A and B are shown apart, each in its own frame.
Chain A
């Protein structure tokens, strides 16, 4: 043991991307380490679980999002083939004993289907077959922007704070919340810096960016920020990437793995942005601290968490409308595998918008998690990238 310690690189000496990649691949590493060190750890499922509330009440928070593409025998007992494909491994992990050390798992719901993993796990408990499942908390939010919805959402945040305080005994004081906001904002600033380094003259391929941004969900915020700061400081435009077509990706499933990116970038493109909370939309702006820190945190998550269920289209698709037309986007890939039941209703509108702004686009309906789908995707991507790379008359964006 001592020998291993002596030969292992210190954290400072280890290359920052290697640290990020290790946490991206071993998604419970930080959680297990924190637990072994006596820290209280909570899990989260879904976009927009406020890490600041976890931090302020003395918890380490990690996302429950196992890498897909592995068998899910426990989930298979209870769910069918139409269950959300990336929720399936999360559900499988949740009902096993791997997560039993967590103090609680927070599931965020903004639309009916978001809550399915929560209800399914609850039902397994009710059936007497889920003794290992950690306590579950549903953070139920609504997509409206009116006063009643804001009041409701803020109430839900207060309930979550109370639940977390009941677990740890640590009160989320104003000072603790503000400290957590500062920590979270530092992380946001670095992540935005990373996202900016992808645009214009890209400094890194999309698959590396996805790893670096995604690792935030599995590391303690300060550890992550320290590592990401070292990684970002070394970034500079990469000449080999400068010649490649720059793509924006819109996916109906969360981009929590690299499958689609590896396939697309192998075709000779670089992905510079994605309409997804695992990538370009992971942060939003800083939290602006007002008179009440909890209200500030809620307002940030309410306004800036990407949400396919939000309405109207101007809100739901606002990011896509703003980013997809920019000159440093050469093409758009819409990834709508067979599991899609939501984004497809917006696809014609988004495609028409891309067409109007002279942006070529590719629709992929194959499933990259199976061999046939991956081959189909690779072939379609190769043809598309070749087409995008071909010199064409410039169209003006209106």
Chain B
């Protein structure tokens, strides 16, 4: 029986300007349908994994995997997050818990339901989880709800090393940048992931194949680097942040595959063409804004809401820039160690000052941003740093995925006021 599900949150739909956006979206839809078929009908194993995890290992095994945060984004974009957060609350998980990556738990608790996005997540062979504060318990809940094992592998990044201008050295000097002992620990954890993949697939780990995957991932991020430079230097922005988030993240979730590399290059080529042709998503662009925090997946159309009214475009997010600055690892003699070094620092780099603040300022200036809109955090250091750098900054109080938190009039009003009263008068001073 198909019970109509309660859809809540922003009802607007994003407008797409790029040809490749539709192609990439269609690929993702077909890929997930294929995954479901292979898992459900043919009994192939797959793993449910966090975003900050060594996806390249799965790619090297040719093992199917689904990124948990992608699932949250899809559920939120379909305006189903409110329904599923209510379901979590009904199961005893209180409303104050961070919900960004929790929607897989909700859909797993619901079980088979025709209302689930794209037919729902099938039962994984195992879930991989991170050892950091609450999520360990949440991931254990996911595993229990699915009735599958949980594998613990991704250790916390090294909190003792918060590096100023880390992006200058992380790609090649990662062994010097991060604590060797910490990298050792992450490598040990990855051996457990490898053992889990071997058990699930019946195949042996091939380190040469991992090296090839890592090299392709590097090439993919290099293509993104070209895109970033094109957007940053173009007279007017050639791609909306809504499109960019969808394109970049879809490609990132297939990182290291040939499809991902090809898609990144197709994206780069289309951006190149658009810049050469003077194509602009907002012909009257006069304000460039940076976005801080995770993507506003419950309403990516928000990023285009100020083009006509204020000539304001969002051009920068952490996703493109962390792909370029945080993911590339050259020196693949030991690809497992190179991969581990990425996760010995990654989340610290975009969340802890001065690593996060200096990087944001550097990036915002590269993109020629006139202002920044950021999601709330536990500290005010990002706002302090950006304002000190001459970049007017607004903290937008909204949940990235919980449709229950969307108040269209308030949000558009607050951001519109910020642009008019803080950004416009300051334009040219950043």
**Footprint of B on A, CB under 8 Å?**
77-80, 82-84, 109, 111-116, 118-120, 122-123, 126-127, 138, 140, 142-144, 146-149, 151-152, 155, 308-313, 316, 336, 338-349, 351, 365
In this complex, the interface size class of chain B, counting residues with CB under 8 Å from chain A, is 35 or more
- B188 contacts chain A at the CB level, 8 A cutoff: yes
**Whose C-beta in chain A lies nearest to the C-beta of B158?**
A140
Q: How far is the CB of A310 from chain B (nearest CB, A)?
A: 8
* Residue from the list A116, A144, A339 in contact with B131, Cβ < 8 A: A144
A82–B96 alpha-carbon span in the complex (Å): 11
When the two chains form their complex, are residues B133 and A112 in contact, meaning their CB atoms are under 8 A apart?
yes
Chain B residues near A309: list those with CB within 8 A.
Answer: 131-133, 136
> Contacts A119-B353, A120-B381, A309-B133 known; A142 to B156 CB distance under 8 Å?
yes
Chain B 120-142, CB-CB to A under 8 Å as 1, else 0, gives 00000000010111111110110
Interface residues of B in 343-359 (CB under 8 A from A): 347-348, 352-354
Give the segment of B9-17, B86-94, B230-238, B303-311 that binds chain A: B86-94
Q: How far is the CB of A350 from chain B (nearest CB, A)?
A: 10
- B98 contacts chain A at the CB level, 8 A cutoff: yes
A310–B347 alpha-carbon span in the complex (Å): 19
When the two chains form their complex, are residues A342 and B137 in contact, meaning their CB atoms are under 8 A apart?
yes
Give the segment of B32-40, B62-70, B256-264, B371-379 that binds chain A: B371-379
> Contacts A144-B155, A341-B96, A347-B92 known; A316 to B136 CB distance under 8 Å?
yes
Chain A residues near B157: list those with CB within 8 A.
Answer: 112
Interface residues of B in 138-197 (CB under 8 A from A): 138, 140-141, 150, 152, 155-160, 162, 181-182, 184-185, 187-189
- Using A112-B159, A336-B94 as known contacts, list a sample of 14 further A-B pairs with CB atoms less than 8 Å apart, ordered by residue number in A: A111-B131, A119-B159, A126-B353, A126-B354, A142-B156, A152-B185, A311-B152, A312-B140, A339-B96, A341-B96, A342-B134, A345-B137, A345-B141, A348-B93
Q: How far is the CB of B193 from chain A (nearest CB, A)?
A: 13
* Residue from the list A148, A313, A344 in contact with B140, Cβ < 8 A: A313
When the two chains form their complex, are residues A140 and B93 in contact, meaning their CB atoms are under 8 A apart?
no
- B19 contacts chain A at the CB level, 8 A cutoff: no
> Contacts A78-B379, A80-B379, A345-B97 known; A308 to B188 CB distance under 8 Å?
no
When the two chains form their complex, are residues B185 and A80 in contact, meaning their CB atoms are under 8 A apart?
no
Q: How far is the CB of A47 from chain B (nearest CB, A)?
A: 14
* Residue from the list B136, B159, B347 in contact with A140, Cβ < 8 A: B159
Chain A to chain B: the 10 pairs with minimum beta-carbon distance, closest first:
A148-B188, A348-B92, A345-B137, A342-B134, A115-B159, A311-B136, A111-B133, A345-B138, A346-B137, A344-B97
- B380 contacts chain A at the CB level, 8 A cutoff: yes
When the two chains form their complex, are residues A342 and B376 in contact, meaning their CB atoms are under 8 A apart?
no
- B294 contacts chain A at the CB level, 8 A cutoff: no
- B22 contacts chain A at the CB level, 8 A cutoff: no
Q: How far is the CB of B385 from chain A (nearest CB, A)?
A: 9
- B5 contacts chain A at the CB level, 8 A cutoff: no
A55–B93 alpha-carbon span in the complex (Å): 43
Chain B 379-394, CB-CB to A under 8 Å as 1, else 0, gives 1110010000000000
A46–B48 alpha-carbon span in the complex (Å): 33
* Residue from the list A82, A149, A344, A349 in contact with B378, Cβ < 8 A: A82
When the two chains form their complex, are residues B160 and A138 in contact, meaning their CB atoms are under 8 A apart?
yes
In this complex, the member of B91, B94, B354 whose beta carbon has the largest number of chain A beta carbons within 10 angstroms is B94
* Residue from the list A80, A146, A313, A341 in contact with B133, Cβ < 8 A: A341
When the two chains form their complex, are residues B379 and A142 in contact, meaning their CB atoms are under 8 A apart?
no
Chain A residues near B352: list those with CB within 8 A.
Answer: 119
When the two chains form their complex, are residues B137 and A316 in contact, meaning their CB atoms are under 8 A apart?
yes
Q: What is the predominant secondary structure among interface residues of chain B facing chain A?
A: loop
When the two chains form their complex, are residues A148 and B381 in contact, meaning their CB atoms are under 8 A apart?
no
In the assembled complex, 10 residue pairs joining A and B whose CB atoms fall closer than 8 Å, in A order, are: A78-B384, A82-B376, A112-B133, A119-B162, A140-B158, A142-B155, A148-B189, A340-B96, A345-B138, A349-B141
When the two chains form their complex, are residues B159 and A344 in contact, meaning their CB atoms are under 8 A apart?
no
When the two chains form their complex, are residues B381 and A113 in contact, meaning their CB atoms are under 8 A apart?
no
Chain A residues near B141: list those with CB within 8 A.
Answer: 345, 348-349
When the two chains form their complex, are residues A118 and B159 in contact, meaning their CB atoms are under 8 A apart?
yes
Chain B residues near A144: list those with CB within 8 A.
Answer: 131, 152, 155, 185, 189
A80–B92 alpha-carbon span in the complex (Å): 27
A79–B377 alpha-carbon span in the complex (Å): 8
Residue pairs across A and B with CB atoms within 8 Å: the count is 145
Chain A residues near B134: list those with CB within 8 A.
Answer: 308, 341-345
> Contacts A77-B380, A138-B160, A342-B137 known; A312 to B150 CB distance under 8 Å?
yes
* Residue from the list B93, B129, B156 in contact with A112, Cβ < 8 A: B156
Q: How far is the CB of A141 from chain B (nearest CB, A)?
A: 10
A342–B134 alpha-carbon span in the complex (Å): 4
In this complex, the member of A109, A127, A308, A345 whose beta carbon has the largest number of chain B beta carbons within 10 angstroms is A345
In this complex, the member of B91, B159, B188, B354 whose beta carbon has the largest number of chain A beta carbons within 10 angstroms is B159
Chain A residues near B152: list those with CB within 8 A.
Answer: 144, 311-312
A149–B182 alpha-carbon span in the complex (Å): 9
A148–B348 alpha-carbon span in the complex (Å): 21
Q: How far is the CB of B378 from chain A (nearest CB, A)?
A: 5
**Whose C-beta in chain B lies nearest to the C-beta of A311?**
B136
Q: How far is the CB of B336 from chain A (nearest CB, A)?
A: 13
Q: How far is the CB of B375 from chain A (nearest CB, A)?
A: 11
A112–B91 alpha-carbon span in the complex (Å): 27
**Whose C-beta in chain A lies nearest to the C-beta of B94?**
A344
Chain A residues near B184: list those with CB within 8 A.
Answer: 148, 151-152
Chain B residues near A143: list those with CB within 8 A.
Answer: 131, 136
**Whose C-beta in chain B lies nearest to the C-beta of A148?**
B188
When the two chains form their complex, are residues B376 and A122 in contact, meaning their CB atoms are under 8 A apart?
no
Chain B residues near A351: list those with CB within 8 A.
Answer: 92
**Whose C-beta in chain B lies nearest to the C-beta of A91?**
B379
When the two chains form their complex, are residues A78 and B136 in contact, meaning their CB atoms are under 8 A apart?
no
When the two chains form their complex, are residues A80 and B156 in contact, meaning their CB atoms are under 8 A apart?
no
> Contacts A79-B379, A80-B378, A151-B181 known; A112 to B97 CB distance under 8 Å?
no
A127–B379 alpha-carbon span in the complex (Å): 14
When the two chains form their complex, are residues B93 and A345 in contact, meaning their CB atoms are under 8 A apart?
yes
> Contacts A146-B188, A152-B184 known; A109 to B159 CB distance under 8 Å?
yes
> Contacts A80-B380, A341-B98 known; A349 to B159 CB distance under 8 Å?
no
Q: How far is the CB of B156 from chain A (nearest CB, A)?
A: 6
Chain B residues near A308: list those with CB within 8 A.
Answer: 133-134
Interface residues of B in 50-95 (CB under 8 A from A): 91-94
**Whose C-beta in chain A lies nearest to the C-beta of B162?**
A119
When the two chains form their complex, are residues B381 and A123 in contact, meaning their CB atoms are under 8 A apart?
yes
Chain B residues near A346: list those with CB within 8 A.
Answer: 137
Chain B residues near A127: list those with CB within 8 A.
Answer: 384
When the two chains form their complex, are residues B96 and A149 in contact, meaning their CB atoms are under 8 A apart?
no
> Contacts A120-B381, A149-B185 known; A341 to B97 CB distance under 8 Å?
yes
* Residue from the list A83, A111, A343 in contact with B132, Cβ < 8 A: A111
**Whose C-beta in chain A lies nearest to the C-beta of B156?**
A112
Chain A residues near B348: list those with CB within 8 A.
Answer: 112
Q: How far is the CB of B146 from chain A (nearest CB, A)?
A: 15
A151–B179 alpha-carbon span in the complex (Å): 13
> Contacts A142-B155, A311-B140 known; A365 to B94 CB distance under 8 Å?
yes
A231–B151 alpha-carbon span in the complex (Å): 47
In this complex, the member of A116, A148, A310, A316 whose beta carbon has the largest number of chain B beta carbons within 10 angstroms is A148
* Residue from the list B135, B158, B378 in contact with A116, Cβ < 8 A: B378
**Whose C-beta in chain A lies nearest to the C-beta of B354?**
A126
Q: How far is the CB of A43 from chain B (nearest CB, A)?
A: 18
When the two chains form their complex, are residues A112 and B137 in contact, meaning their CB atoms are under 8 A apart?
no
